[in-house]
Amino acid sequence: MANHPSAQKRNRQRIRRAERNKGVRSSVRSAVKKAREAIATGNAAGAKNEVRAAVRALARAASKGVVHFKAAARTTSRIEAALNKLARG
């Protein structure tokens, strides 16, 4: 347990940030999961919309620092590559 006032404040801030980040991280995971499922079904038109939503969610989370920017770029690259592979046939 934090004993100094400054340490207590940092702990309160940490808890608030963690709670806020949890929602963002959850929505990113859901968007990526939906995109991967849409690609797996083989529907290129529907998958394109889901991938676009996932890329946007990843970029937003990376800009907020919730997800590391290179992890977001890597995930974006992988789902876009899978979409392009689907579109090519």
pTM of the model: 0.85
Which overall architecture, per CATH, does domain 27-88 show? Up-down Bundle (1.20)
pLDDT at 62 over 90: yes
Q: What is the pLDDT of residues 34-50, one digit of tens each?
A: 999 999 998 888 899 99
Span 4-22, average pLDDT = 95
Give the separation between CA 55 and CA 36, rounded to whole angstroms. Answer: 12
Closest by alpha carbon to 20, among 83, 65, 76, 52? 65
